Chains A and B, each alone.
Chain A
Amino acid sequence: QSLLTQPPSASGTPGQRVTISCSGTSSSLELNSIYWYQRLPGMVPKLLISKTSQRPSGVPDRFSASKSGTSGSLAIDGLRSEDEGDYFCAAWDDSVSGWVFGGGTKLTVL
């Protein structure tokens, strides 16, 4: 059972801006940073956003993220066909001293 809640699916056309939401609890998102992972088809999960808004080296600036209270969101500008895949939010949850993941959002590029 995921302790972070994401919409199961999202979609957009090439060039559009798409946002994916993630809601958590006071012991996870409100107290700690949010992280986003991208899992493209047949690939290993990749850290997309670190510490709520930081992009690791190599991640295009088309990807951005934010957090407010117990909710966070990932935005993808200039959507491309190669962005199609699964996106997971995550946070450190102080109540369990561990990482919690969202159930994942399947992004489809129409």
Chain B
Amino acid sequence: QVYLQESGPGLVKSSGTLSLTCTVSGAYIRSYNWWSWVRQSPGQGLEWIGEVHHSGSTNYNPSLESRVTISVDKSRNQFSLRMNSVTAADTAVYYCARDKREQMGPIDYYYGLDVWGPGTTVIVS
């Protein structure tokens, strides 16, 4: 069974930096899968923030890319999110999730975000 757990401060000052870590258990982060961050602001829908591969490759939501860095720590089986210059609009529940993929020959198969952490609330004040 794969488990993901977010950790980090629940309160961040406006204009400061939000830092969260996701610890993966039950699976190696050194897999073909990618590892994502998603958030849900109060009264809003899900917003994909970005993702990282164990190789260090990343993809980001263009609307957040200038403020976001996602990194991986293979030795600790963790990946992390840093978001700078936060404002009240960044107040949200932040989830980490596994972006399950498989490679069959030259083709990548995307299975979706199949395992999610419980989420952590971050308030920017």
Contacts and interface: CB of A to CB of B under 8 A. Distances in A.
Interface of A: 1-2, 32-33, 35, 37, 39, 44-47, 50-51, 56, 86, 88, 90, 92, 96-104
B25 interface: no
Interface string B22-55: 0000000000000010100000111110110000
Contacts of A100: 48
A55 B48 CA distance: 22
9 contacts: A44-B116, A44-B118, A45-B116, A50-B111, A90-B46, A96-B62, A98-B62, A99-B36, A104-B45
A74 to B, nearest CB: 14
A98 B52 CA distance: 11
Given A56-B114, A101-B48, 19 more contacts: A2-B45, A35-B113, A37-B46, A37-B112, A39-B46, A44-B117, A44-B118, A45-B46, A45-B113, A50-B112, A51-B110, A90-B46, A90-B113, A96-B62, A98-B50, A98-B60, A99-B48, A100-B48, A101-B45
Interface residues of B, number: 27
A61 B63 CA distance: 36
Nearest to B64: A98
Nearest to B111: A50
A104 B61 contact: no
Contacts of A99: 36, 48, 51, 99, 113
Interface of B: 36, 38, 44-48, 50-51, 59-63, 95, 97, 99, 109-114, 116-119
A44 B119 CA distance: 7
Contact of B114 (A50, A101, A104): A50
Contacts of A56: 114
A45 B113 CA distance: 9
Contact of B46 (A1, A33, A97, A104): A104
Contact of A98 (B61, B97, B109): B61
A50 B112 CA distance: 6
Given A37-B46, A100-B48, A101-B45, A90 B112 contact: yes
A88 B45 CA distance: 8
